[in-house]
Structures are given as C-alpha cells and as structure tokens.
Amino acid sequence: MQPTKIVVAGAGMAGLVAAVQAQERGADVVLLEKGPQPGGSLALSGGTLWCPRTVEDLRRLVPRGHGELGRILVEDFPAGVQWLRDRGTNLALLEGLPDRKVYIMEPGPGAFIGQMVERFQSGGGTLLVDTAATALLSNDAGQVSGISVRTGDGPLQNIACDRVILATGGFQANPEMMARYFGRWSDRLILRSNPHSTGDGWQMAQLLHAGPSQAMGSFYGHLLPAPPAQVPTHDFIAYTQYHSAQGVLVNSQGERFTDESLGDETNAQVVARQPQALAFLIFDDFVYRTFAVRAEGGGARASDTFFESKELGAPAGTAPNLEELAEAMQMWGLHAPTLLATLRSYNQAVAQGSGARLAAPRRQNANPVLTPPFYALGVTPGVTFTLGGLSINHNAQVLDRSGHAIPGLYAAGADAGGIHNEQYAGGLCLGLVFGRRAGQHAAA
C-alpha cells in the first residue's frame, strides 16, 4: 500500500512538529516554507515552551478560551514535552512557577529547528524553502486532493496529496485582514513576528468553506517602543515592555484607559484601540530599577528597556518631578494640565488604597509614580500572532461553517484559532500539541 501523502504548509513550530510526527506514523511528507529558511516566529522566540499546569489554571489565565481544545492542550502537553525530549531536544525545566510548567529550549530555538529539520530530512521528508502554498485543490467530493505552490518567482505547480496541514502562523502580516479584525489603527501596529504569516492558511481554507473560530478580534502581542523607533526583528524581546503592568499608561489625551495590572498582553490589545494605537508608559525610578532593567535569562539578553528604546528613537524622556514631565510631554501633543491631573489622581487613589475605584481601575501592582526621576516612553503594540483563525476539532481537522470536518484538511499553531481568547497562555505549546494531533490523525 502507498503511504499517505501529506503536505504541511509552514515550517515553524506547528509545521515542524506536524511533519516529523506524520512521518513517524508512516506518511510521505512534503514540508513547504515560504521564507528562505525554516523557523518562522519560533526562530525569533525565547524558546520558552510553557503551558498552564492544570485545566483550572488555564481557565483562570484564559477564561474565555475554547473549553474542549484547552483541556486537550493542558492534558497533551506533558506527552508533547516527553516526545521532544525523546527526540533529543534539550528542555530545561524552570522551577517555582505554581500555575504553569515552563521549559527553556537549550541552547535555543535555532538548535531545535536544526534538529527537527535534520530528523525530518534524514527520515526521507522533502523540505522546500522559498516555496509558498497558494491554493488547495479538492475533488468533487470536497476531499483535499492537492495543493498549488510557488517557488520564488517561478510558475505555480500542483502537488497531489491526500492531506494538507495548514501551519502558516496566523494573519498578523496581512494588512487587509488586520484592518478587518482590528480596525482603524491596525496599520500603526508593529509586526512582532516573522514577516511571512499573511493569513495564507486562512485564505486557502476559505475556498473550502472553512469556519472561523472565536477570538477573531483578539491577538497576542506586547508593547514596543513607538515609531520612529524601529525594533530590529531579531531583538524584539529586549525591547518588549513586559513591565507595563507595573506602570501607568495614558493615551494621547493624557488619560488612563485600562487597568494596566491586567498584564502587558492585555495592555497591547487595549492600546491597539486607542487613537493612533499610541500610549505613553509612565513610571518612577523604583519601577525603572526593579522591572525596566532586565538581567539575561529565559532566552533573552540583558536589556535596559527604557534607555535602549530611547536610543532607537522612540519618544522618551525623564524629569525630576511630575510637573516637568508633563511639560516635556507636550511636545508629543499631550495636554500638560490633563496629564498632571491624571497622574495626581492616580497617585492619590493608590496612596488611599482605592485604586480599584478609579474610572480605569487599578487592582494590582499599585505602584505610585513617586520616586524621582520619572520616565515616559511612547509605546505601540507589537502583534506576535492572531488568536482567532480556523475552527478545528480535537483531531485538528478544520471544520466548515456548519461544524463538519473538511476531509483531508488540518490546521495547527496560530492557524487554528480560538484556543486562547483575549488572554494568552503560551504560543509554542499550541504548535506542539495540535501539530502532533494533526500529524497523527492525518497519517492514520
């Protein structure tokens, strides 16, 4: 009997895992990569492979995520970690986090990508780089029968196959789709991802009437220094303002608009809807020293997130008192008296322990802006991947708009949407768990 022929579109986290898994189950696999080399956003990541420990932890971290797929994510994760270790991946356990299991890829994602590619190719798999999947082919019964691809500027070519696994990494690099789902200021958002994830998986599957998941208006990302700063693609982590949850965010009207303590991932999504997708992160010297200056660790280099952002050209300034800070921020179009009133009423509320009763409440990390000097940095959201995408079932089969599995079509990683919604609990774990599920079922 001929082996099942599978084409995997995208050689990032989900695609590499799916390709190796399907091959191990006896399939003949072709792995397509649109970029010049495999890796996608996985290659830009810190290689921190993490997942909530229990389903309850996941529900608390991501209350609006997909129930059944979330359960699978948590329950399959330990077996996925073991599967990687059995294949030689060095995963160092990071101890001491009560609600999550965290492993660091050592020496980094680059080595992991190399290992997976080597394993795949030595097992007889074909990797085609600089080759984009462009369209799905199907037979009269609606069963996937092949895929159309283009290498470089060459002609379209059809590859006949029994199954296709879509793992193209989401649609954050597609301006039209971003405007559709993220609105007026989407073109101000910074791409904090590989540049090739232009929603190809989503668009190809639409021709077979694939259905959308929940969370189409939700993304995972972080605040980055605002333009004119341009963050180097291979150094996103060093400039990521993870500590926005410890500071105060104001919009260009000088007003707070969210509970910053909900976390930088949430702040990024809220800032995306503020005018110009722009905010100013304000904090004092205590927050600067404690959170904005980071030591090396977790796959990231040491960085001074404030002064390095300033050097890149972001709107950034310091002042010895709040009055001078507000005065200085007028050059970015803010109204000094409004900004000063915002900071004073915030400081007063946190001093009185009534931060939760502010119009934009502050429930945790209620750090006052108290110890000079004071810092202000213009920030804009960077989008790492879109949380909405194709609707899948427990086998990672893509569902049509009526909820029926489309024969021969699978999605994993960021192409499979709705597992996380609004909040986020790891990106690499999605590729690992659902990449394996897709590879196993497609090869069966």
Ligand X SMILES: Cc1cc2nc3c(=O)[nH]c(=O)nc-3n(C[C@H](O)[C@H](O)[C@H](O)COP(=O)(O)OP(=O)(O)OC[C@H]3O[C@@H](n4cnc5c(N)ncnc54)[C@H](O)[C@@H]3O)c2cc1C
List interacting residues with ligand X (CB under 6 A): 9-15, 32-35, 39-42, 44-46, 48, 50, 132-133, 167-169, 192-194, 196-197, 200, 236-237, 384-385, 413-414, 426-429, 431
Nearer to ligand X, 263 or 355 (CB): 263
Report the C-alpha gap between 170 and 172 in whole angstroms: 6
Nearer to ligand X, 35 or 317 (CB): 35
From start to end of 245-399, where are the E strands?
Answer: 248-250, 279-283, 293-294, 303-304, 316-319, 374-386, 397-399
* Minimum distance from residue 298 beta carbon to ligand X (Å): 7
Nearer to ligand X, 145 or 347 (CB): 145
Phi, psi of 129 (to 5 degrees): -90, 165
Report the C-alpha gap between 117 and 114 in whole angstroms: 5
Given a contact cutoff of 8 angstroms between Cβ atoms, the answer to whether 435 and 167 are in contact is yes
Residue sitting closest to ligand X (CB) = 12
Nearer to ligand X, 109 or 315 (CB): 109
Phi, psi of 107 (to 5 degrees): -80, -5
Nearer to ligand X, 104 or 443 (CB): 104
Nearer to ligand X, 82 or 348 (CB): 82
Report the C-alpha gap between 334 and 386 in whole angstroms: 31
- Per the structure block, which two tokens stand in for 121? 């190719």
Given a contact cutoff of 8 angstroms between Cβ atoms, the answer to whether 429 and 42 are in contact is no
CA distances for 300 relative to 43, 132, 190, 242, 379, angstroms = 13, 30, 20, 13, 20
* Minimum distance from residue 367 beta carbon to ligand X (Å): 25
* Minimum distance from residue 186 beta carbon to ligand X (Å): 18
Report the C-alpha gap between 425 and 158 in whole angstroms: 37
Residue closest to 128 by CA, chosen among 26, 244, 35, 224:
35
Q: 30: alpha, beta or left, given left = phi > 0 and alpha = psi -120 to 50?
A: beta
* Minimum distance from residue 325 beta carbon to ligand X (Å): 30
Q: Which helix (H) or strand (E) holds 396?
A: none
Nearer to ligand X, 219 or 385 (CB): 385
* Minimum distance from residue 153 beta carbon to ligand X (Å): 15
- Per the structure block, which two tokens stand in for 278? 């722009």
- Per the structure block, which two tokens stand in for 49? 């492979």
* Minimum distance from residue 105 beta carbon to ligand X (Å): 9
Given a contact cutoff of 8 angstroms between Cβ atoms, the answer to whether 392 and 69 are in contact is yes
Nearer to ligand X, 306 or 385 (CB): 385
Given a contact cutoff of 8 angstroms between Cβ atoms, the answer to whether 16 and 116 are in contact is yes
* Minimum distance from residue 155 beta carbon to ligand X (Å): 16
* Minimum distance from residue 377 beta carbon to ligand X (Å): 19
* Minimum distance from residue 424 beta carbon to ligand X (Å): 9
The residues that bridge with 210 in the sheet, in sequence order, are 400
Report the C-alpha gap between 439 and 433 in whole angstroms: 10
Cβ burial, residue 255 (10 Å; 0-12/13-18/19+): middle
- Per the structure block, which two tokens stand in for 81? 């970690």
* Minimum distance from residue 274 beta carbon to ligand X (Å): 23
Nearer to ligand X, 20 or 44 (CB): 44
Nearer to ligand X, 116 or 428 (CB): 428
